[in-house]
Structure 1
Amino acid sequence: MDKNAQAIQYMKDNEYEKAAELFNELIEENPGDPVGFVNFGNLLLHINDFVRAERFFKKAIELDEKTATAYYGLGNLYYEQEEYDRAEKNYQRAIELGLAESDVYFMLGMIFQQKEQFKLALPYLLRAVELSPDDYEIQFQYGLSLAQAEYIEEADKAFKEVLKKNPEHSDAHYNSGVISLLHGDAETALHHFEESLRIQPDHVLAANGKKNIEDILKQE
C-alpha cells in the first residue's frame, strides 16, 4: 500500500494524526502535486477545520486550476457552512472539469433541496441515482424531492424502490404511509406507519400518522 492509500485508510479508521503525518510527507516529497493538498484539505474538512481546509483546496487550484476534486472539496466546505451559492458554483466547476461521480450530483441536488427549489433538485438527484443505482439514501432523497415537487406517483415508486433495497428504512415507510393516505388507503398507510415505528420507535411523524388513522377508524 502506497503512502497516499495508507493515509486515506488512516482517515477511514479515524486515525487523523497518522493520516496528517503521511499527507504532510507526500506534500513535502511532491510540493507541485495538487493531489496531496486536496487530500490534506479533505482531512481538515473532516475534522471541521474549515479555515485551513479552504487554504489547502485553494493551494491545489493554484498549482493546477483544472483540479476537479479541489473544487468538489470547496463545494463540500461551503455546503457544511450553509454557503449554498458558493457550494453550487464549485460543484458545477468540478463537473465542468470532468468529475462525473454520483456524489457531486447528489450534493447539487441537496443544495436545491436546502433552498426549497425541489424541481431544480430533481435532475441532479436523478443523475446521482443513475450513477449509483444501489445507493438507497440517494434514491430516498430523490423520492423526497419528487414528493415535495408534488410528483406523488413518481415519489411513490422511488420510496418503494428504497424499501426494496432496504426494508428497514423508517423514513421511506413513513413517506409511503403518507402517500397511501393521500390515495385513501388507510390500511396500507397504517402498516407503513407501524413499520416506521417498529424500526424507529421515536419517529414522531409516524406516531402522529398512526394515531390519526386509529382515531378515524374508531369513529367509523
Structure 2
Amino acid sequence: MKMSKCYREVDKLSAYKKGMDAMKAGNYEEAITHFRQALENDPDNPLLYTNMGSLLTRAGEYEQALACYRRAIQLDDEQAGAYYGAGNISYNVENYQEALQFYKQAEALGMNDQSLHMMMGMSEYQLDNVPFAMARLQRAVELDADDEEARFYFGLTLAKSELITEAIEAFEAVIDKNSSHADAHYNLGIAYFSKSENRKALDYFHKTLELQPDHYLAAHGKKQVVKAMEQ
C-alpha cells in the first residue's frame, strides 16, 4: 500500500509538470490532457482546477472553464486566480457587471497586478462608468507603460471626459509604440476635429484609411472634415 501511494504521488506530480510544460509551450490540448490526468489523481486540488480553467479559456471552452473556476472557488474561496479567471470568462461573454464582481473578489484577496487593473478598467468602460474606468486604466498604464491597449482605452476615457489635450497625448503615445494602430489614428482625427484643427484631423483620417481601408468611421470623419474646410 505504501509503495502504491508513492507511485500515485509521483505520477500526479509528473502529470502536473507535463501539463505546465505543455501550457508554457502553447500546446494547450496536450496540457489539458495532462491536467485531466492530474485531477484524476488529486480531484480536490483547487490550483489544478484554476489552471485547467485557464487552459479551457484559451481553447475557447468558456462554459467548461467557468465550471473549473467555480469548482476551484468551492474548494478554496481564497483562490484569487480563480476569481480573476472567472472574471475573464464573464468579460468574454459580455457580462461586464459579473466580470467586475469577480475582479473585485480577486482584488480583495490581494491581487494587485497590471492585468487586473486593466480588466477592471475595461469592465467599467463597457458599463460606461467613465471616472472609475479612467482611474483603473491610468493605474494599468503606470504599472506597464508598454501596454498599448491599456493606454489606448485610457485615452478613450480621457476623450469621453472631454480632456482632449490629455487624450491626444495618450493616443500619440500609442502610435509611438505601434504606428499601425488604426483606431489610435482615427481617435486622434476625432480629437483634432473637436479642436477645429482640421488639417491635422484630415491627416489622421487619411492615415487610418491607409492602414484600414474599410474603416467606415474614418471615411465618414474625412467627409465631415472636408465639408467643414469648404465652408
Give the TM-score of the pair, scaled to structure 1.
Answer: 0.90
AA matched with 1:5: M
Letter in 2 for 1:97: L
Mean CA deviation greater in 189-198 or 150-159? 150-159
Indicate the SS of the match to 2:77: coil
Q: How does 1:60-209 map to 2 (within 5 A)?
A: 60-209=72-221
1:30-78 alpha-carbon deviations (Å, 9 max, x no partner): 4443221111112223334333222211221223221110000111122
In 2, distance between residues paired with 1:103 and 1:164?
A: 22
Quick one: distance in 2 between partners of 1:133 and 1:97? 25
CA contact (8 A) 1:119 1:146 kept: no
1:7 aligns with 2:7: no
Q: Deviations over 1:65-103 (max 9, x none)?
A: 211100001111222232222211110111121222211
In structure 1, the gaps of 5 or more residues are none
2:78 is paired with a residue whose SS is coil
* Residue of 7, 15, 22 corresponding to 2:34: 22
Which range moved further: 57-66 or 153-162? Answer: 57-66
Contact 2:47 2:72 in 1 (8 A): yes
Percent identity among equivalent residues?
Answer: 38
Larger Rg: 2
In the aligned structure 2, how far is the partner of 1:165 from the partner of 1:54? 34
Q: What is the RMSD computed on CA atoms of the aligned residues?
A: 1.9
**How big is each residue's C-alpha offset from its partner over 1:128-176, in whole Å with a ceiling of 9 and x where there is no partner?**
1111210111100110111112222221111111111111111111111
Match of 2:223 in 1: 211
Moved over 4 A (4+): none
Q: CA deviation at 1:16?
A: 3.8
Q: How many residues align?
A: 216
CA distance in 2, matches of 1:35, 1:158: 38
**What's the counterpart of residue 58 of structure 1?**
70
* Alignment of 1:40 onto 2:55: no
2:138 and 2:154 in contact (8 A); partners too = yes
CA contact (8 A) 2:19 2:32 kept: no
**Counterpart contact for 1:3–1:26, Cα < 8 Å:** no
Quick check: 2:18–2:31 contact (8 Å CA) kept in 1? Answer: no
